[in-house]
Amino acid sequence: MPSYKLYKMLHLGAIVLICMTTAGLAFHAWLGGTKESAGGARKALLALHGVGMLLAFVGGMGAGAQTGAISSEHGFQSWVHIKIALWFALGALPALPYRSPRLAASLFVVVPLLVAFAAWVAGGFLPLTR
Ligand code: HEM
C-alpha cells in the first residue's frame, strides 16, 4: 500500500504535468499556431495531459484516504468536492487554447491562480495568516 508521501508526490508531479502540457498547447496557440500545424506534438501533449489527469486523481484520492478526508464510513470531507470540481476544470483546459490566442495567453495567469486556490483548499481551508 503506497504511503501518504508517495500519493502526494504522485499528485503534485501529475499537477505539474497537467500544467506543462496545457502551457505547451497555450504557447503554440498564443503564437498563432493551429491544431493542424501542431500535428503530432499536440496529440502527444493531449496524451500526457490524460496521464496527468489519471495520476492526479489517483494521487489525490490516495492521499485523501490516507489522511481520513476520504473514507467509506464518512464519505468525502467538504473540501474534497471542490477539489473534484477543480480536477474537472483542469480536464477541460486543453480545449481552450486553440479557441483564440487571447484566451491562450490568459491561461498563463488563470492556471497558476487555479493551482494556488487548489493548494489552499487542500486539507480544509486553513487560515492564510496567523
Ligand atoms: C480529485 C481531486 C483531488 C483530490 C481528491 C485532491 C486531494 C489532495 C490531498 C489529499 C492533498 C494533501 C492535503 C494535505 O496534505 O492535507 C492535496 C494537495 C494538493 N493538491 Fe490536490 N486534490 C485534487 C485535485 C487537485 C487539483 C485539480 C489541483 C490543482 C489545480 C490540486 C493541487 C494540489 C496542491 C497544489 C496540493 C499541495 C497543497 C498541500 O498539500 O498543502 N489538487 N490534494
Q: Is the pLDDT of residue 130 over 90?
A: no
Q: Where does the pLDDT of residue 59 fall: very low under 50, low under 70, confident under 90, or very high at 90 and above?
A: very high
pLDDT of residue 52: 99
CA 117 to ligand 1: nearest atom: 30
Ligand 1 neighbour 87 (Cβ under 6 A): yes
Ligand 1 neighbour 94 (Cβ under 6 A): no
pLDDT of residue 13: 98
pLDDT of residue 4: 98
Helix (H, G, I), strand (E, B), or coil: what is residue 126? coil
Distance 101 CA to ligand 1 centre (A): 29
- Stretch 57-81: mean pLDDT: 97
Residue nearest to atom 36 of ligand 1 (CA): 119
- Stretch 91-110: mean pLDDT: 98
What is the residue-wise DSSP string for 52-111? HHHHHHHHHHHHHHHHTSEETTTEE-HHHHHHHHHHHHHHHGGGSGGG-HHHHHHHHHHH
CA 86 to ligand 1: nearest atom: 27
Distance 35 CA to ligand 1 centre (A): 31
pLDDT of residue 45: 98
Distance 64 CA to ligand 1 centre (A): 8
Ligand 1 neighbour 60 (Cβ under 6 A): yes
